[in-house]
Amino acid sequence: MDTRIKLPMPIGLLLERAKGYGFSESRLLAILNQRDHTAFPNEHNEQISWNVLFDYAAEHRFPIARALREGYTFKFITIRGLKRLLAFKFNRHPGTDYVEEEGKITGLTLTRFETDALRSLLSPQWALIIQLGEIKHGQARMKVDIVLALSVSQEV
């Protein structure tokens, strides 16, 4: 049984965005507890409401701390949220790093570590179809397609 914290999509995406700035777990918790807006770069091209994350962290202090310490999974994530996750966490973008098709992402290349990290975050509605790709610099690259789990079970 998976005992990881399950976070709502907006909170998980904001956490991934915040983690992407390189803060340690303890520093990020302090930023959340202090509602320190100045800790995050001012990004003029995006509408990011850190207040959503600050409010959630204030109401769910222990689950947020546990999620940062032990990891978490999304309760549910849309294809749009999935694309944002790939951009925030793995710096992968549609058109250059993968193809977005109707309800799925194909042609994504990840390391084994990245594949495992993605698998641990995704909600059960998504399935990964993984093939071993090329080996670069002694590290295996995985070819990953992300599809709705329902569509995988219907193909069987």
- The pLDDT tens digits for 94-142 are 999 999 998 899 999 999 999 999 999 999 999 999 998 777 777 778 8
* One domain, residues 143 and 91: yes
* Beta pairing class for 5-7 and 72-74: parallel
Is 67 a residue whose pLDDT tops 90? yes
Percent pLDDT > 90 in the chain is 65
The tally of domains found in the chain comes to 2
The sign of the dihedral angle between the CA atoms of 52, 21, 119, 60 is negative
* One domain, residues 9 and 68: yes
Q: Which residues pair with 144 in a beta bridge?
A: 108, 130
Confidence of residue 41 (pLDDT cuts 50, 70, 90): confident
Considering the entire predicted model, what is its pTM? 0.86
Which of 50, 74, 98 is the last residue before a domain boundary? 74
Rounded CA-CA distance 86/90 in Å is: 5
Domain that holds residue 27: 5-74
Report the Cα–Cα distance between both ends of the chain, in Å, rounded.
25
* One domain, residues 148 and 84: yes
* One domain, residues 61 and 15: yes
Better-scored residue on pLDDT, 61 or 135: 61
